[in-house]
Structure 1
């Protein structure tokens, strides 16, 4: 057994594939109003999760944390914002970054203007059921405590009977303080559980509701990671954004653009000429080929060479 006196983050938080795809498309094509709203919701949701992470980081809790888990049960995928494994329990956190006034009636959430929001209680109940089954499948029976976090301090909920599953941002310090008073012993079996769940995470999951798009219709060029401009000037080794001044090594810029291409086109073969076009034809094919050879596994198909992720040995 090992005694931990602080949180161990075994899986860091990253932007979801939906966020990454919509972020790219937002600056490379015209999104529909619905797609634009979805993108804005992704931005708000991720900001809320980062805010939740800051609360947890300040807490003196002993536990193991897995963020942004995508697991599967009977061919059904489900997503968990944050999972905290303590000495004797698993805490499943669903983070909502709603702002403004909401009403709770007929077991549903409604905005002030009357729009109905998916009931987070049903959503988290589904996640708990699936997680219990996944844990049973790999041999663990720790109790699961679901918690719905309304992280935005500007969120107001009316017509609502108190529910122990709901926590507001001003209640988080008390919640984490209560957890910090528990025993600090984290057993090896907890670490084994966390690592098994991490291994089950579906890195390649893509939702069915992503926009339809094609390579030819998207704006080409390097997108600045800070201001999302495609305007830049280059020195021999460095890329410099013309708008915000962000500076980056050109090799890093090309590597980042390859990853963006892979996010958008997971089924397209990675080829030197395609990446050359994707980067706006501003960097030589030879330079791009060298980066691909270094970072990816090359394959020969007829007269053409394409690249794929290196297989871990």
Structure 2
């Protein structure tokens, strides 16, 4: 049972948007390419998980806080009173593991994924204790790409290679476990603790005036489109959607890139490339956001969320 689907991180989404709206510096372009590659690897792991997760609870892309520290978990699998923590790496090529360090074939040292996952295990254990749980945690570094080779003197039980993933997940799912209420409550609590608004400090610096205006296609990221009375049509890939949906999506992109800016009708009118009337944009903002009057200006913010039950019960 997947309780939390995978979503792109704020870093990924910001870099993705900037990549098609400005000329990214080389360093930021490399970061974006790494985000795309990492996302592809995680989606491949999700494909395997979708076939073998029936016996447990899956939470993807958790961003959690412990005291003043933020840590991220690629995938969490709760099964049989145990927690399996997966760190997914989409490395390609040949690597060497020696003296607790990772090296590329050309000799460059990279961050040891075992240290990354050990850090996550430490913080997760503390979060579990704070919530009142003592489940054992089994950490696994998943090298998801079949074109990855690791040369090492000794095998490591925490490494899981592409060819081993189906067998590993099948072995877990073939055991007939019942999902207990305690496990479900823990999974919901972890999902509730997920920090979906976390913005790392190393995001690129950019200004509104630097960015191309208009609505990006959600498929090919082109800014070129034509409209009928009701529909937006990308001229590059022929993606079609209702104009209102396209504007709503572009508003969310603006809020992602400029979370501290006041969101006004005029601002969104400019952001959408002046392709749609201010009245049309005002209607969409009024429908989806809370309006505020400040002197001679009306701006919009998120509506207060309605209260819903925190945890579900097993029927």
Q: TM-score range by the shorter chain?
A: over 0.9
User: Are 1:203 and 2:199 an aligned pair?
Assistant: no
* Structure 2: 5+ residue stretches without partners: 307-315
TM-score (norm 1): 0.96
User: Are 1:80 and 2:79 an aligned pair?
Assistant: no
Shift of 1:280: 0.5
Contact 1:103/1:160, CA 8 A, preserved across alignment: no
Corresponding residue to 1:246 among 239, 249, 255: 239
Shift of 1:111: 1.2
CA RMSD of aligned residues (A): 1.0
User: Are 1:284 and 2:277 an aligned pair?
Assistant: yes
Tell me which residue corresponds to 2:309.
none
**SS at 1:185 equivalent:** coil
Corresponding residue to 1:140 among 128, 133, 141: 133
For the residues of structure 2 that align with 1:59 and 1:85, how far apart are their CA atoms? 13
For the residues of structure 1 that align with 2:176 and 2:42, how far apart are their CA atoms? 26
For the residues of structure 2 that align with 1:270 and 1:9, how far apart are their CA atoms? 35
**SS at 1:228 equivalent:** coil
For the residues of structure 2 that align with 1:203 and 1:177, how far apart are their CA atoms? 31
**SS at 2:58 equivalent:** strand
For the residues of structure 2 that align with 1:306 and 1:135, how far apart are their CA atoms? 41
Tell me which residue corresponds to 2:290.
297
1:21-36 matched pairs, under 5 angstroms: 21-36=14-29
* Structure 1: 5+ residue stretches without partners: 1-7
TM-score (norm 2): 0.95
Shift of 1:96: 0.3
User: Are 1:127 and 2:120 an aligned pair?
Assistant: yes
Corresponding residue to 1:176 among 152, 169, 172: 169
1:154-193 matched pairs, under 5 angstroms: 154-193=147-186
**SS at 2:198 equivalent:** coil
State the aligned residue count. 306
For the residues of structure 2 that align with 1:151 and 1:257, how far apart are their CA atoms? 33
Shift of 1:60: 5.4
| Runs of 4+ deviating beyond 4 Å | none
1:50-89 matched pairs, under 5 angstroms: 50-59=43-52, 61-89=54-82
User: Are 1:255 and 2:255 an aligned pair?
Assistant: no
Corresponding residue to 1:103 among 96, 100, 111: 96
CA distance 1:284–1:47, shift in 2 (3 Å):
same
Shift of 1:118: 0.5
